[in-house]
Structure 1
Amino acid sequence: MGKYDLLAKDIIKKVGGKDNIISLVHCVTRLRFNLKDESLADDEALKQMEGVITVMHSSGQYQVVIGNHVPQVFTDVCRLANISSETATEKKKMSFREKSLDLISGIMMPAIGILCACGMLKGLNSILLYLGLYSDADGIYILLNAIGDSIFFFFPVVIGFNTAKKLDMNPFLGLIIGAALCYPTINGTDVPLFGHMINVTYTSTLLPVILIVALAKPLESFFNRVIPDMVKTFITPMLVLLIALPVGFVVIGPIANLISNGISQGVLSIYKLSPIFAGFLVGGLWQVMIVFGVHIVLVVLCITNIISGTPDPILAFTTFVTFTTTGMIFAMWLKSKDKTLKQIALPAWISGFFGVTEPAIYGILLPRMKYFVLSCLCGAVAGAATAALGLKYHTMAGMGLFEIPALLDPTQPGKSMVHALIAAAISLIVGFAVTFITFKDEAPSETKEGELSDKCRKEVIACPLSGTVMALDQVKDAAFANGTLGQGMAVSPTEGKVTAPFDGTVMMLFPTRHAVGLMSDNGCEVIIHIGMDTVQLNGKYFEAHVNEGDKVKKGDLLITFDKDAIEREGYSLDTPVLVTNTKDYMEVVAMNRCGSKVHCGDEVITLL
């Protein structure tokens, strides 16, 4: 059983079930689904899950933003849904743009992590060499350099494999095409073919292998149809290689190299016109590209430059945008008196130092659009500062602090390290200062407790349990305590019954009967979650007295539970009462002080 099995099961269910999944890949923070029918996915339910930051529809993909533990969630989702690229046969209708982005993502994303790892090794090797711990003639330097360079030199092998998988063909056929292109005796030397002398280099390239594998795909499909089953496992790949590689080596590859060089030079020419303006523009747009899920385009352009041996300035402009965001969130965390915001901001600015800013973007900045715009402007300043300091990507690396090794110029690592630290400091300080000066908590209601006018009240929620009032942030579960799932209050129950807090409809009753969701006749949506982790009891000790779809009146019995038996099993019965559509109200006011006693039917929450 995987660590994220429960989350993975819920994600599979909420995207429409495993039969609705065509394929799945992941990037650094997102699960990127290709779904048959996106209307079957429940966006709101996914957004409310603990472990899910938000949901995006972009690039023809259904993107579930997870955070930095996405690889583990991806593994569990694939295992539980039996997902592999080989099993996906149906294709979803997408525009040309969506198909292009989906193809790029499917080919590049599986390799990004290893690219970063090898790049960080190269950066570490440069630092240790600069510090004089060894010379470039020492065996340890030579070995680390070989490890770091390996993926860049043999990149066609990796991309050939990924491209073949993405195109639903034998991935090892793509791997061999990439390996053949890297074979030493045919690279950078005169090879007489078909009356012509061919001299090309395919090591450290990207586009040639993609186009050659694309040619191999229809050839493989054709030969698989016409060749008898008993011999096609080896005859088909032999014929595909016999046709695709000579054509690719002589015709497709040289053209692809020209296109790659043209794109690279075109991008670099924009940079040469005005490096600072280019940095300002790219840095300012980077977070917008992240929100729309199209930032992979810049990553691919960067990789194209790096593997060809050309330092890339474009992706370098984005390096310290995460630092400006981190500085902004840190300032909010220091200045705010809002407990909910502080609880969200603390992990957000910590993860920001390691390059994961989705929690900050989706959880804090986008709901406060003014600060998202400011973060983009601060990002533009960070990009301009990076350009002014002449920093470029010399290899791939990690994110956040671990991205700095990518900026180290092997010829002058000390100088580029100083410049990188200066750019990081500028970015942090700008983000922090702008936010510390401008940020104010949203003005609280001036009406005192117990003095809310009837004119202001939209709805009053009665207490569904008898017991002792708790503040939501006292609940020992981050998803409830930080207000991510909605605002409200909690009750430590003194008896085992739950009643309806208003007149309305039962919208959701968990199969385990430990939680129930209701909608009032006025549109208020409430979830009552009995206890912490009580889902693991699988319904034991719980009895439901209503069904989904039932109409209820305030005070009607919803669920009974054996309080003593559940507590003997070691479970806490602290019960959150959450208004899940909090955003529809100006304010959700808990009316009772912590520690006060309440009974079923007492007014406990007022919605304004």
Structure 2
Amino acid sequence: MSTDKNRATAAAILPLVGGPDNVLSIAHCMTRLRIALRDRTLVDDEALKALPAVLGVVEDDTYQIVLGPGTVARVTPEFEALVEEGRSAAPAPGTEPGPAPHPVTADELADRGAALKDARKARNATPFKLFLRRIANIFVPLIPALIGCGIIAGLNGVLTNLGWLPGLSPALAAMASGFMSLIAVFVGYNTAKEFGGTAVLGGAVAAIIVFPGVAKITAFGMELKPGQGGVLGALAAALLAVYVEKWCRRWVPEALDVLVTPTLTVLVSGLVTLFGLMFLAGEASTAIGTFANWLLATGGAFAGLVLGGLFLPLVMLGLHQALIPIHTTLIEQSGYTVLLPILAMAGAGQVGAAIAVYYKLPRNGSLRATIKSALPAGFLGVGEPLIYGVSLPLGRPFVTACVGGAAGGAFVGLFNQLGVAFGSTAIGPSGWALFPLLNGESGMGTTIAIYAGGLAVGYLVGFAATYFFGFTRQMLAELNTDPDPTTPPTDPEPAAQPALA
């Protein structure tokens, strides 16, 4: 029955993105179905948003349909199968996709959100931000394994502390640690694949970093350690391998390519990795871990306020992707990233702001319905529907949501400053979904209580800031109405847009 539901969702999405022939590639991350399109104009955004299973859409380097954690992993293979079936059926040219299964109501805020997304996409098309997206594409496929292994590690810790099932502990430890011990290989593989090289050669060069035999090698007057440099070293080594391989493809005769190119790629990149990159990346990784711990230990409250308050704008600018390798490095070093619970407070501020909007606009049934449908996902850390459907188009509530995130971040950061350090054993989830991944040195009870307290502060401050300061009189006059939901607005440009201040 569940499979039928997922297939029905995929079948409803496919004609609304232009049909099988309009789909160039398909992938998914934690919450989004990511589609590369042949012709963007064939997509019916409003009809997609109207589908019950769709939480929102985001246009970036790919067209992204937000389905939520769990759902997206089940819908994607059904969508892929339908695309293949549709292509093999080879419909006659000129065949038009069928009509949308549901009537679509145009919504002013959704239009504004779409316009803001388009503007953000245009601003984000810079070489630096495109590079950050490619870095994110390396690590996003690893998130499911990080989450699974992180939860197993947490379960093993609980069982060990309680003294239950001691014979099972070594097995759970092996399951939790096996992936992390080889994560450099996966990073190298994905790096080469993302930057246009042979993926397995990137993995082969990165595997040098975790090979136990490197302990016999001396570089810069010091013996190397297996794993030194971690994911940063693996990323750099695989990137170097891509450039060496491409150079070889240009200059090595075709008759010798199959022998010479992979050999030179691994040899040259491997030597540079052993006698340079491992040491340099190891120093960089150590510096990142030391700085993060120092920052929260000495100025945790202020650091949490800044990080929690600025994370939503970072997401809007696409700069949050630069944090993914940092999170992974911290997890490698200490078993968890201290930054993610603080950054998760931005989502709490967003939820509080949305609830305030709900109560502040009792006559706007359309917007209240949007908030009611998006809040469950917001509590679980999926914030796109609330951001693009509510706070960002409204303007001021986006700012007050950031205030709530700053307050929650300061709360969590304060406890780090007081010596209660904790973090997440994986990256990806936030909100309530982060609870199973929490780990710290002060016990699970204390860790959960502090994180829950931070969420509560984020909710309350986000609500209060939005309720009392999130609207001008003009905004209330425009928005606190009960428009006929069956009659779409005819003027896409309202006379007065709500301002940020």
Q: So what's the TM-score if we normalise by structure 1? A: 0.62
> Matches of 1:412 and 1:585 in 2, distance apart?
54
> Matches of 2:186 and 2:18 in 1, distance apart?
29
Distance 1:3 1:62, change over 3 A: closer
Correspondence 1:393 to 2:423: yes
Distance 1:586 1:579, change over 3 A: farther
Match of 2:152 in 1: 121
Match of 1:53 in 2: 56
Structure 2 unaligned segments of length 5 or more: list them: 1-6, 85-123, 497-501
Residue 383 (structure 1) aligned to one of 409, 428, 442: 409
Give the aligned length: 436
Correspondence 1:66 to 2:69: no
> Matches of 2:430 and 2:478 in 1, distance apart?
38
1:290-320 alpha-carbon deviations (Å, 9 max, x no partner): 2233322223322212212275433321123
Match of 2:104 in 1: none
Query: Which letter does structure 2 place at the counterpart of 1:373?
Result: V
Segment of structure 1 superposing worse, 278-287 or 71-80 = 71-80
Match of 1:253 in 2: 278
> Matches of 1:444 and 1:250 in 2, distance apart?
65
Match of 1:11 in 2: 17
Match of 2:213 in 1: 185
Query: Which letter does structure 2 place at the counterpart of 1:323?
Result: A
> Matches of 1:203 and 1:77 in 2, distance apart?
41
What are the residue-to-residue correspondences of 1:86-97 with 2, within 5 Å? 95-97=126-128
Q: How far apart are residue 369 of structure 1 and its match?
A: 1.6
Q: How far apart are residue 586 of structure 1 and its match?
A: 7.1
1:178-202 alpha-carbon deviations (Å, 9 max, x no partner): 333212232xx33268x97642332
Query: Which letter does structure 2 place at the counterpart of 1:584?
Result: E
Instruction: Judge conservation of contact 2:27–2:34 (CA < 8 Å) in 1.
Output: yes
Q: Secondary structure at the match of 1:372?
A: helix
Correspondence 1:419 to 2:450: yes
Query: Which letter does structure 2 place at the counterpart of 1:243?
Result: V
More contact order relative to length (CA 8 Å, sep ≥ 6): 2
> Matches of 1:128 and 1:95 in 2, distance apart?
48
Query: Which letter does structure 1 place at the counterpart of 2:10?
Result: Y
Q: How far apart are residue 366 of structure 1 and its match?
A: 1.7
Residue 134 (structure 1) aligned to one of 164, 182, 189: 164
> Matches of 1:420 and 1:445 in 2, distance apart?
35
Match of 1:112 in 2: 143
Instruction: Judge conservation of contact 2:10–2:76 (CA < 8 Å) in 1.
Output: no
Residue 322 (structure 1) aligned to one of 347, 361, 370: 347
Instruction: Judge conservation of contact 1:348–1:360 (CA < 8 Å) in 2.
Output: yes
Correspondence 1:305 to 2:304: no
Distance 1:346 1:421, change over 3 A: same
Instruction: Judge conservation of contact 2:431–2:455 (CA < 8 Å) in 1.
Output: no
Distance 1:445 1:29, change over 3 A: closer
Q: How far apart are residue 583 of structure 1 and its match?
A: 4.4
Query: Which letter does structure 2 place at the counterpart of 1:155?
Result: I
Q: How far apart are residue 222 of structure 1 and its match?
A: 4.0
Structure having the higher helix fraction is 2
Q: How far apart are residue 435 of structure 1 and its match?
A: 4.6
> Matches of 2:430 and 2:183 in 1, distance apart?
21
Larger Rg: 1
Structure 1 unaligned segments of length 5 or more: list them: 83-92, 448-470, 472-482, 490-577, 588-608
Match of 2:378 in 1: 352
Instruction: Judge conservation of contact 1:156–1:182 (CA < 8 Å) in 2.
Output: yes
Instruction: Judge conservation of contact 1:283–1:382 (CA < 8 Å) in 2.
Output: yes
Match of 2:197 in 1: 169
Match of 2:88 in 1: none
> Matches of 2:383 and 2:146 in 1, distance apart?
21
- Identity within the alignment, %: 23
Match of 1:557 in 2: none
Segment of structure 1 superposing worse, 3-12 or 174-183 = 3-12
Structure having the higher strand fraction is 1
Residue 282 (structure 1) aligned to one of 295, 299, 307: 307
> Matches of 1:270 and 1:113 in 2, distance apart?
29
Q: So what's the TM-score if we normalise by structure 2? A: 0.74
> Matches of 1:300 and 1:43 in 2, distance apart?
36
Residue 368 (structure 2) aligned to one of 320, 324, 342: 342
Q: Secondary structure at the match of 1:305?
A: helix
